[in-house]
Amino acid sequence: MTTRTLHFKIYRYDPDQDRKPYLQDISVEVDSNDRKLLDALVKLKAKDDSIAFRRSCREGVCGSDAMNINGKNGLACLTDLASFPEGKPIVLRPLPGLPVIRDLIVDMTQFFKQYHSIKPYLINDDPPPERERLQSPEEREELNGLYECILCACCSTSCPSFWWNPDKFVGPAGLLAAYRFIADTRDQATNERLDNLEDPYRLFRCHTIMNCVDVCPKGLNPTKAIGKIKAMMVQRAI
């Protein structure tokens, strides 16, 4: 079995022991069974059990292991080890723009607060019918590219507008979720949802920088969803 040594520079900070954060140089041997960055991180943790990072499904659906990999946000479990150039250290940092709890683990409170602020649930005040609410395949197709979000926060934490106003700008993930409910024919709260976003900060801090589209590990396009929300507001206003 062929092995290869990977060199890492990992952001380390344990408020219990460290006065300030530092980059740790550490390397690990991987073999051909280790395909993804997460495989290497698990091996690293076997070597030094104090490296802290989140992980769970290891197949890109739970959204736990988002981090900043060589300067770009992504999921460790979907990042190919083969994609790293030989000889250059792999630099791992926590997601930017959120407070660090420890090492690669960030405090996502603000991110989820914004997600919750758009009322991320179906609102339909009609008495529920006995059977399913009907929806044509075409209407259902409107939700594709929206409902698949895994809330990993790669997008929002790569967005300069979110870095600057994390308390006021909903951010790409939250806005994608907002449009997911606006686009759902079963939802009756479109007007309230648009009202909730009609504000110089909440929606309109998006300056179509499109970092969100660039980093989304699920290939979703929050900018497009944001554009559709804006278009609906214009349609409503004129």
Partner 1 sequence: MVKRNLVGAHYGLKDWLAQRITAVIMASYTLIMALALLSGAGGSFERWRALMSAGPMRLATFVFIVSLCWHAWVGVRDIWMDYVKPTGLRLALHVLTLIALIGYAGWAMQILWRL
Partner 2 sequence: MKPKVTVRKFDAVIVGAGGAGLRAAIQLSESGFKTAVLTKVFPTRSHTVAAQGGVAASLGNSEEDHWHWHMYDTVKGSDWLGDQDAIEFMCRKANEVVIELEHYGMPFDRLDNGRIYQRPFGGHMSNFGEKPVRRSCAAADRTGHAMLHAMYQRNVKANTQFFVEWMALDLIRDQEGEVLGVTALEMETGELYAFHAKATIFATGGAGRIFHSSTNAFINTGDGLGMAARAGIPLEDMEFWQFHPTGVAGAGVLITEGVRGEGGILRNSQGERFMERYAPNAKDLASRDVVSRAMVTEINEGRGCGPNKDYVLLDITHLEPDVIMKRLPGIREIAIQFAGVDPIKAPIPVVPTCHYQMGGIPTNYHGQVVVPGKRTQNEIVPGFYAAGECACASVHGANRLGTNSLLDLLVFGKSAGETAVEELKKSPKAHKDLPADAFDRTLERLNRLNTQKDGANVHETRLAMQRTMQKHAGVFRFAHLLKEGVEKILEVQKAVNQTEIKDKSMVFNTARIEALELDNMIEAAVATMVSAEARKESRGAHVRDDCPDTPEHPNGRDDDNWLKHTLWFKEGNRLEYKSVNLRPLTVDTIPLKKRAY
CB-wise, 45 or 230, nearer to partner 2? 45
Ranges within 208-237 binding partner 1 (CB under 8 A): 230, 233-234, 237
Q: Which does 111 bind (CB under 5 to 8 A by kind): partner 2, partner 1, none?
A: none
DSSP string, 119-137: --S----SPPPSSPPP--H
Site residues (vs partner 2, CB under 8 A): 14-17, 33, 35, 45-46, 48-50, 52-64, 78, 101-103, 105, 108, 112, 116, 119-122, 124, 128, 130-137, 139-140, 143, 147-148, 150-151, 181, 184, 186-187
Looking at the chain, how many residues does it have? Answer: 238
Q: C-alpha angle with apex 54: 49 to 59, nearest 5 degrees?
A: 115
Taking the C-alpha atoms of residue 153 and residue 176, their distance in angstroms, rounded to an integer, is: 12
Site string for partner 1, 147-176 (x = CB under 8 A): -----------------xx-xx--------
Q: Which does 193 bind (CB under 5 to 8 A by kind): partner 2, partner 1, none?
A: none
Contact residue for partner 1 among 204, 210, 213, 224 (CB under 8 A): 204
Whose tokens are 């970092």? That residue is 211
Helix (H, G, I), strand (E, B) or coil at 165: coil
CB-wise, 24 or 196, nearer to partner 1? 196
Q: C-alpha angle with apex 21: 19 to 26, nearest 5 degrees?
A: 125
Of the candidates 104, 85, 99, the residue with the CA atom closest to the CA atom of residue 45: 104
Helix axes 190-197, 171-182, angle to 10 degrees: 160
Q: Are 76 and 36 in contact, with CB atoms under 8 Å apart? A: yes
Site string for partner 1, 79-98 (x = CB under 8 A): --------------------
**Shortest Cβ 154–partner 1 spacing (Å):** 23
Q: Which does 12 bind (CB under 5 to 8 A by kind): partner 2, partner 1, none?
A: none
CB within 8 A of 140, min separation 6: which ones?
Answer: none
**Shortest Cβ 162–partner 1 spacing (Å):** 12
Of the candidates 16, 62, 14, 58, the residue with the CA atom closest to the CA atom of residue 37: 58
Using alpha carbons, list the distances in angstroms from residue 69 to 72, 92, 207.
5, 5, 24
Q: Which does 78 bind (CB under 5 to 8 A by kind): partner 2, partner 1, none?
A: partner 2
Q: Decide if residue 182 touches partner 1 (CB under 8 A).
A: no
Binding site for partner 1 (CB under 8 A): 164-165, 167-168, 195-204, 230, 233-234, 237
